[in-house]
Amino acid sequence: MHRCLRYAFACFGLLSASCRGPQSAIEPASRAAEQLAGLFWGMTIGAFLVWAAVVALTVYAIRARHEAPAERRATALIIGGGVIVPTVVLAGLLIYGLSILPPLLAPAPSGSLRIQVVGEQWWWRVRYQPPTGPAFDLANEIRLPAGEPVEFELSSPDVIHSFWIPALGGKMDMIPGRKTRLTLEPTRTGRFRGVCAEYCGTSHALMAFDVVVMSKPEFAEWMDAQRRPASQAVDSIATLGRERFFANGCAACHTVHGTQARGVVGPDLTHVGSRHTLGAGIVPNDHSGFVRWLSRTSEVKPGVLMPHFGMLPQSEVDALATYLESLQ
């Protein structure tokens, strides 16, 4: 019995140690995630209690197999370990789990920041709707103010996705024809990882996004910067890249505020150079990352709708990458 317990605790310790980092649900960074982590630990303890009761009964049965147990004792063990303990533990877990649902499903207070997120194949369209000031668009990255509730409006135009930021809250499905809502209130700053938790097609596993939680002053400054038009290219290579951007039809799918690019099919690229990653969390946002994404798009993300530009001379691909990198 003692050896079994030691093995169980050792395995649990190893599993817990591996569940760390920016995509960990047991390192909560919001009020909702704290409640969900509490539910996880409660269910883990409950499962351990039921398991311990079953193991204790098994050990007792093995040791007492050569003896005829008293009928009263056998009945007490069956009722106590097989009926009462599981019933009490599971009922307690059910009551606790139901009790945390109302705050998790409550809408954000009036005047809160609202963010529309649309799950595309296979990237994230993000639109900020602040309580004051004009709305603006982002893609494959979300930034939030610490200590402020934020309401997400989630939808999808084609297939079911599932919006999940493990460190900040639970999963919420994005269903075509419906709008679902999720309220999160981050409690600490940091950079976290969100994913699609519902199989949605070829590149489902390559559909991630960064979530950056900032202090309120930093977030306000960031919002002001996002509302501004794209920075103008001044470097000669970036200027060439801007010309190639329009000459190769990129403006038909992408928007770059401050230019004639008004496409709505693909992500908004107005400030793409300031984001942490490219291609929905799978390519570093640097010059080599832009070059790889532009020239080997379908290899980086199979099934993606964006055409690759590997047929262009290397000098033009480099110029395009330099221009996009300059959009800060």
Domains and CATH numbers, the chain: 2-104 (no CATH), 111-216 (2.60.40.420), 236-326 (2.60.40.420)
The SS3 call for residue 160 is coil
* Residue 187 contacts residue 171 (beta carbons within 8 Å): no
The SS3 call for residue 20 is coil
Q: Is the backbone peptide bond immediately before 122 cis, with ω within 30 degrees of 0?
A: yes
Q: Which of 176, 178, 172, 179 lies closest to 196 in space, CA to CA? A: 172
Give the per-residue pLDDT at 82: 75
Query: Could you count the other beta carbons within 10 Å of the beta carbon of residue 44?
Result: 13
The one-letter amino acid at 213: V
* Residue 320 contacts residue 245 (beta carbons within 8 Å): yes
Give the per-residue pLDDT at 68: 59
The pTM of the full predicted model, rounded to 2 decimals, is 0.82
* Residue 40 contacts residue 93 (beta carbons within 8 Å): no
Give the per-residue pLDDT at 69: 59
Give kind and range of the element (H or E) at residue 210. Answer: strand 208-214
Give the per-residue pLDDT at 83: 82
Strands 208-214 and 141-145: parallel
* Residue 264 contacts residue 254 (beta carbons within 8 Å): no
DSSP conformation class of 108: P
Give the per-residue pLDDT at 214: 96
Give the per-residue pLDDT at 240: 93
Give the per-residue pLDDT at 23: 78
Q: Which residues of the chain have pLDDT under 70?
A: 1-21, 64-71
Give the per-residue pLDDT at 225: 92
Between CA 285 and CA 246, with CA 254 as vertex, the angle to 5 degrees is 95
Give the per-residue pLDDT at 204: 94
Give the per-residue pLDDT at 100: 81
Give the per-residue pLDDT at 182: 92
In whole angstroms, give the CA distance from residue 90 to residue 119.
Answer: 36
The SS3 call for residue 90 is helix
Q: Which of 157, 38, 164 lies closest to 96 in space, CA to CA? A: 38
Give the per-residue pLDDT at 53: 79
